[in-house]
Structure 1
Amino acid sequence: MCSVVGSNPPPVVTWYQNGGSKMPLTAKVVERENLTRSILTLNVSRSDHGRELRCNARNPQLPDAVEAAIKLDVSYAPEVELSLGRSLDPKNLREGVDVFFVCSVNANPPPYKVTWYHEDTALSQDKEGGVLVSETTLVLQQVSRAAAGSYTCRASNVEGDTSSTPVHVSIRYAPMCAVAPSLRGVGLKETVNISCRVDADPPDVTFYWTFNNSVRREQTEILKPHRYTSKKLESVFAYSPESDRDYGTLLCYAANSVGKQEVPCSFTVISA
């Protein structure tokens, strides 16, 4: 509402917005004795926040005019956008790197709370665990494969709560054994299928088998690939002891683009 005192004849009141352009809307004018009021009704959105409105009043018979200005203060629920640090590729993160997220919030009034989530679990400050939380950033130090999954940030103000679109993170890691060490009893000339399974990301792995003789353990034999078959994350060795020297420990390793398996899968073969 713009109130104008005085002027005879009554003033002409015009509304202007940013840049000086005339408002396309028609205002309601109420005239009483020496007072003229122009009432402008607007349907505002968040994009109108900070917009300047000017009320211009002039006597139609005089050259000069007077003005008053006001800036709109529009309250709205948060707009939230979550992004990964610029130098990071969400599909190509490895164990041991630091990962950080930025939560960008547009809200009026400003948010009184920003909450971070991994999947459906809220995250809190844990310096010893390598989780550093602030309103605008989340830092995960030396991540493990357990850090993989979807992350969101949620901002709250008096107008409402808004969650970001999830950002999915994949953590790549070297193979690790997916089977427990085992003991197999096999007779001479008998054949036993020994299955070695690993967990890895990416899952494109190459397998290696070695054998430690039970008599001379210091000697490790690297077994030739034609003696075992491998598919995806599993390798199967058809093992047949020909003599007592063939009893001992079979070790299975796998490697992918991240690295080689540190602790092998172990299978001990003894005489049945």
Structure 2
Amino acid sequence: MSLRTTGSVLVVFLWSVTVVLCTNGWGVMYTTQSISALKGSTVNLSCSYMYPSGHTVTSTFWFINNDDNNNPVNLTDDPDYRGRVTYHNDKKNEHTLTITDLRKSDSLAKYKFRFITDQPIGRWTGEPGVTLSVTDILLQINPTSVSEGERVTLLCRTTYPLDPIPEYIWYKNKQPVTSKETKNTLILYTVTSEDAGNYSCAVKGRDDLRSPENTLNVIYGPKNTSVSVSPSGEIVEGSSVTLTCSSDANPPVDNYTWYKKNVTSPKASGQSYSITNIRSEDSGEYYCEAENLFGRPNSSTLFVAVHSSSQPITASSDQEHHNYCLYTPK
């Protein structure tokens, strides 16, 4: 399944337990006792309240702290929440607190609703309040460094459990991974070099709140080893030709060795091999060996033909033909 994202929604997970605390007609009823939400997301805390007839409500607000005089501090006046808190009176005697851009510091506090009426004793705080847990989303890769063909497990987790269990989406190098897996575990059963990269994950529907990236390192021996020649245009006898060896490997190739076919001893070492003042006796098939701790394969051969006449000199490989011309002055 090609992973998709839905519109921006609140990622909030509730344990729906209504709390009713009433005394002589006074009370606050919270929609839930506990809420878990992702760091950076938005959360709503709701309640309804009641009071005896003959009172008129003059003030409603939420708080978590008291000031030095033990008076509750309105969240809208709290420096840690200023600009991130809004109140909504959705219906009569119903109230909703919205907190945006959730932070870890918002977590595990008791959010309580308080209302004040026009009567001297007409003040009420709802107990015990609502506990908010703000959770990070993290990605674990086990193991983080593997050889080709091995198995890797990617685990997307949160610091606090989310209920109901959400679906997850996966990213590699910031691009969605095409996968049918929507649970919090993604298994790469047979890793190849193409699987190496930076991975992250997110709860489906909030792909803007991704986990920090974690890197999967795939170890493999040299592959796709090939030889190229420079310059690619016409070369006259007596000029220089440089052969270059290219190879894909992790860790990188630490040793290149050059050979001429049917010649026992190596011709040179290093990623490039230069033949200066080229002569007809330099004709032949050349190839390189690329080596790291996990392998030492040879490239295909590159045939270089040098002629002492005005015939063009050509270079070709056993995989593809390259036209490199070298002329001998008369």
Q: Say yes or no: TM over 0.5.
A: yes
Equivalent residue for 2:301, pick from 258, 266, 271 = 266
Percentage of pairs with the same residue? 19
Question: Equivalences for 1:243-262 in 2 at 5 Å?
Answer: 243=281, 247-261=283-297
- Runs of 4+ in structure 1 off by over 4 angstroms are 39-42, 69-74, 177-191, 239-243
CA distance in 2, matches of 1:101, 1:71: 37
Partner of 1:228: 268
Match of 1:175 among 210, 222, 236: 222
C-alpha change, 1:242 and 1:41, in structure 2 (3 Å) is: closer
Shift of 1:173: 2.3
Q: Structure 1 pair 5/121, CA: closer, same or farther in 2 (3 Å)?
A: same
**Do the aligned partners of residues 147 and 138 (structure 1) sit closer, same or farther apart at CA in structure 2, a change above 3 Å counting?**
same
Unmatched segments (≥5 aa) in structure 1: 7-29, 33-38, 52-68, 127-132, 214-220
Structure 2 CA distance for partners of 1:236 and 1:46, relative to 1, 3 Å: same
Query: Superposition RMSD on alpha carbons, in Å?
Result: 4.4
**How far 1:155 moved relative to its partner?**
1.1
2-side partners of 1:248 and 1:189: how far apart?
17
* Structure 1 residues 254 and 179: alpha-carbon distance in aligned structure 2, compared to 1, 3 A threshold: closer
- Aligned with residue 96 of structure 1, among 142, 149, 158: 149
SS at match of 1:271: coil
Residue matched to 1:162: 209
Q: CA deviation at 1:253?
A: 0.8
Q: How many residues align?
A: 201
- Structure 2, gaps ≥5 residues long: 1-19, 26-50, 54-59, 65-98, 100-105, 112-126, 308-330
- Structure 2 distance, partners of 1:121, 1:160, is 11
Deviation of 1:100 after TM superposition, in Å, equals 1.5
2:138 maps to which of 81, 93, 97:
81
Match of 1:17 in 2: none
Cα displacement (A) at 1:125: 2.6
TM-score, normalised by the number of residues in structure 2? 0.48
Partners of 1:2 and 1:118 lie apart in 2 by 50
Residues 222, 253 of structure 2: 8 Å contact kept:
no
* SS in structure 2 of the partner of residue 163 of structure 1: coil
1:21-170 matches, within 5 Å, as 42-43=63-64, 45-47=106-108, 72=130, 74=132, 79-85=136-142, 88=143, 90=144, 92-105=145-158, 106=160, 108-125=162-179, 133-156=181-204, 162-170=209-217
Tell me if the contact between 2:221 and 2:296 (Cα under 8 Å) persists in the aligned partners: yes
